[in-house]
Structure 1
Amino acid sequence: MSIFPRTLFTNEHDQFRDMVRRYCEEKVKPRLAEWGENQRVPKADWQEAGALGLLNAWLAEDYGGIGQGILFDIIVAEELGRIGATGPGFSLHSLIVTPYINNHGSDELKSRVLPKMVTGDIIGAVAMTEPGTGSDLAAIKTRAEPHGNGWKINGQKTFITNGKNADIVVTACITDPDKGAKGISLFAIERDMEGFSRGRNLRKIGQHGNDTAELFFEDVFVPAENLIGQENRGFSYLMQELAQERLLISVQCQARAEGIFDLTVDYVKERKAFGKRILDFQNTRFALAAVKAELMAGRAFCDALIQLRIDGKLDPVQASAGKLHHSELLGRVVDQCLQLFGGYGYMEEYPIAQAYVDARVERIYAGTSEIMKEIIGRSLDADRA
């Protein structure tokens, strides 16, 4: 949908968007059903995206990127969202996983891994959640203990997006059990490390194109250079990078909500009842007018958050507020739009039905809506001071 001009983007960005949109329409959209059925996107499709410059464009030229900030990667996220492509997990790979390695990893790790993360030859995932922890990172039990010139890791992770495909997994482990959250460290665990295995590809109610797996670590030896940043600093790194993760969810939710709105407007223009178009009923126009107003406000908020990130000023409260707002907005929009499809909206083959189930998890992962409210709520005393 066209709301108002977006001053964030230059002509170069617009040209890139045109290319990404063609790719999404011609290469991604026709394969969404296949990927969903298989619960996985083949490696070859990642490599094709890499060859087109759709992965980690923000990285420095030394590592294969173009080094011009995150807007090119934001465009990829928006265009995938516009067509309702919750898989492949390109944006998680580029804007969530890679920053941990680039910003905190050793020179050896960066030079060996990052160029292949640009080409799609190495796919990334981040592993925080465990069966008994959910959003409580301080309660994780996966343990890393010093061993020779590295570490041995034992434990389990679950709900890991890109988990089956991943060649490298940024993994949160306890290195000092007496320090709680201040005893967490991050490690880059690689596909071929002995003792690293994957469980089943978890079957979700939505977002079927994203492979989501359980991961198991049994005496996995990780060399010292695969420690990301400093020992026991992992929690602070997670908090630093979570703001961008939550921004990405705002971006994706807003784009998907706009795509759903456009889909619905097209449908009610064509579908007839009682001898006239669904759009000609006042209830339809009023319902969609309210949705459009919400989307206009959401777009302004989303672009303001992107600008804060570009300026280096995005803080955890702002990012949490964005994640809360846009994930809840998507839920409201898709529910209202599905209603206008009537019985067809409940049929699996209609994109609006898939969008409905895909939207639900946005209020859960990367911190539930309740956790977002808690983070925002804690700022209230500081706001009054």
Structure 2
Amino acid sequence: MTARFHFTIHATDGKARTGEIAMQRGTIRTPAFMPVGTAGTVKAMRPAEVRDTGADIILGNTYHLMLRPGAERVAKLGGLHAFSGWERPILTDSGGYQVMSLSALTKRSEDGVSFKSHLDGSAHMLSPERSIEIQRLLGSDIVMAFDELVPTTSTPEVQLAAMERSMRWARRSRAAFDAGGPHAEAAAIFGIQQGALDERLRKASADALLEIGFDGYAVGGLAVGEGQDAMFACLDFAPGQLDPAKPRYLMGVGKPDDIVGAVERGIDMFDCVLPTRSGRNGQAFTWDGPVNVRNAKWAEDLAPLDPDSPISAWSMAYLHHLTKAGEMLGAMLLTQHNLWFYQQVMAGLRDAIAAGTLTEWANAFRARYGAKNT
């Protein structure tokens, strides 16, 4: 176990767990949702506001930060925490997903992935060693191993080859992390399970990761278009293949009902751009389901979006006006609300697990959340 990283499970309810991850920069309550700060900022939010929503940790993006402003520059300026003004833990992804999804011109090899920047076409090479180096330069608290992601619709042969390469890269990532000196002594590294929707491939991946040894484990390769039913079917077995004493992180998930179902299946950590992206596009998440604030039905509604929300001082009519007019305040307020709502869901899940009432809480949540489309 990496120094200054300790995961304690306080209570369980079925497969679900609630606990805490203790780190040098603060404690992370689990199940946890991590707002995404792609380019060193949670879009439309100041760091103190993100913290006020209840977030204990945020996510930074290796790919975007390596291209702009550059990992070496961030290190020169004091690291990502000082640079961005976020003093609590930061998890950085490995950059692999963005390399595959944003760059049309990539070449994969055993060494890594060569690609052209989506910003200016400049050539780059991202290997396990370089990914870990970038995350170290950023000052990441939780570092992700570098992996190869392929669609769940890929052929079994492609899925097997990608999983096996990811496991070789996981070993190289672990070695590169351990060579990081003071950073490795204060941070943690998570391995990423791959294998698409195949239980045998997932088990082989899990066994390889456990043999290497990591501080936590991510379930990767999901939420890429396979649908909720298929994702849940995979989560019925994938988390249980990993070390039960370590945190389990489902990457890139998701909608509130995705998160509730994943927690029921044993997941401890989540990240997703959905609450921030939706906020910038006029969609708010509520206990009664998502709300399209642009709809004309809200044009003269003086009620707040939620009386408990941090933006309750503003009416639906005003939020409707801001979004229709394209005013940046609309994006700021709806993003703040959405991040607060996600943290309320996480708090509700933690409390229900601790009380042993998760099934009742989750069923009541789903019944209300899916009752109507507004």
Fold shared by both chains (TM-score > 0.5): no
What's the TM-score, normalizing by structure 1? 0.28
Larger-Rg structure: 1
Give the structure with the higher percent helix: 1
Q: Tell me the TM-score normalized by structure 2.
A: 0.28
